[in-house]
A and B are shown apart, each in its own frame.
Chain A
Amino acid sequence: MLRGLFKLTWVELKIFLREPMGAIGTIGVPVLMFVVLGRIFQKRAELSADVTTFVAVFLPIFATILIALSNVLSLTAIISIYREHGILKRLKATPLRAQTILITHVIVKLLLTVATLFLLVLAGKTFYTAEVQAHPLSFAAAMLLSMLSILSIGFVIASIVPTARFAQPVGSVILYPMLAFSGLFFPLDALPEPVQVAANLLPLTHAVGLLQGIWTGGAWSDHLWQVAALVANFVVCTVLAGKIFRWE
Chain B
Amino acid sequence: MLRLTWRNLLARKVRLLMSTLAIVLGIGFLAGVMTFSTGLNATFDNIVKGSTSDGLVRPAGDIQGANAGVGTTQVITPEDVEALDALPEVEDAVGSVDGIGSFLLGEDGKLVGGQGAPTLAFNYAPTENMAGEQILELTAGGWPSEPGEITLDTSSAERGSYAVGDEVTMIVPSVGETRRTFTLVGTADFNGGGTAGATLVLLDTAEAQEIFLDGQDAFTSVALTAADGVSQAELAAAADAVVPEGFAGVTGDEVVEETQDQIGQFLDVISIFLTTFAVIAIVVGAFIIFNTFSILVSQRVRESALLRALGASKRQVTRSVLIEAFLMSVVGATLGLLLGLGLSRALAGLFRTFGLDIAGEVLTLTPFTIAAGYVTGILVTMVAAFVPARRAAKVPPVAAMRDDLVVQEKGMGRRLLLGSIALVVGVALAAAGLTGAPGTDAIWIGAGAVIWVITTAVLAPVLGKPVLLACRSVFGRVFGTAGRLAGENALRNPRRTGATASALMIGLAVVSAVGVLASSLSATNDKVVDDAFRSDFLVQMPTFQGFPAQYGDRMEDVDGVDLVSRQQGTPVSVEVDGRSDQSFAAGVDPAYFEIYDLTIVEGTEEITGRQALLSEGRAADLGARPGDTIDVSFPGGETIPVEVVGVFEDSPTTGGITVPLSVLEDAGIKRSDSSLSITVEDGADRAAVKQDLEDVVEELPILSVQDKVEFKELISGQVNQLLYVIYGLLALAVIIAVIGIVNTLGLSVLERTREIGLLRAVGLSRRRLRTMITLESVAIALLGAVLGMVLGLVIGVVLRQSLKDDLTELSLPLDNLLVFLVVAVIFGVLAAIVPAIRASRMKVLDAIATE
Do A and B interact? no
Chain A interface residues (CB < 8 Å from chain B): none
